[in-house]
Chain A
Amino acid sequence: DIQMTQSPSSLSASVGDRVTITCRASQGISNYLAWYQQRPGKVPKLLIYAASTLQSGVPSRFSGSGSGTDFTLTISSLQPEDFATYYCQKYNSAPWTFGQGTKVEIK
């Protein structure tokens, strides 16, 4: 099975910072990559699919890029409500494995 590895596992950042999270697939997955946000105690929320397509209603400060094996999620200017854990997920074929998550904390 294809493994999904996120880095870093956690990071500390301030409001207004630019934040980048990386997700690497152990084999190529084209652009079948989604990003989710999960705030503490809340349900995961789809942010981006097809590696770079913003889900309806998601603020434009979120963006995604990449194809093949290497992907990034960027938050251009971190807002207080963005402190959460972020997960990538491949969906080109089963199993639709998630990355281990990246926790974004307040500095």
Chain B
Amino acid sequence: EVQLVQSGAEVKKPGESLKISCKGSGYSLTSYWIGWVRQVPGKGLEWMGIIYPSDSDTTYSPSFQGLVTISADKSIGTAYLQWSSLKSSDTAMYYCATTRGDSGFDHWGQGTLVTVSS
């Protein structure tokens, strides 16, 4: 069974850095991409980008390019989303999700709530 387990909720101050994680199990890393999706409280889903952990091939949404970094460590089956300088507008739930590339996101992590407040 495919499972994605995300790191826990974070409370940060503006300007701080942060790296959250998404660990996958129950599937072949060579078969799936991992994507990140943002959901601001009370708002819709926003596609941030996607990575192929086997070779770290990454594509970003233009809306998030340069604002976040997506990475992966294939040896431990984990993908990451990181910020170098958080803003209050980064307050949101962040989901990771897997895809084979031909079916949308078929498995989702439980979400990581990031709160940025002074």
| Tally of contact residues, B, Cβ under 8 A | 26
Query: At the interface, is chain A mostly helix, strand, loop or mixed?
Result: loop
User: Which residues of chain B are near A43, meaning CB under 8 Å?
Assistant: 95, 108-111
Shortest CB distance A23–B (Å): 13
A44–B61 CB distance below 8 A: no
Q: How large is the interface on A (under 10, 10 to 19, 20 to 34, 35 or more residues)?
A: 20 to 34
A95 touches B106 (CB 8 A): no
Question: Number of residue pairs across A and B with beta carbons under 8 Å?
Answer: 69
- When C-beta atoms are compared, the residue in chain A nearest to B104 turns out to be A34
Could you mark each residue 77-116 of chain B with 1 if its beta carbon is under 8 Å from any beta carbon of chain A, else 0? 0000000000000000001010101111110111100000
Contact A46 B103 (CB under 8 A): yes
Contact present for A44 and B44 (CB under 8 Å): no
- B26, CB-defined interface residue at 8 Å: no
Give B residues with C-beta under 8 Å from A.
35, 37, 44-47, 49-50, 59-63, 95, 97, 99, 101-106, 108-111
The 9 closest A-B pairs by CB, nearest first: A34-B104, A95-B61, A49-B103, A98-B45, A94-B59, A101-B44, A96-B47, A49-B104, A43-B108
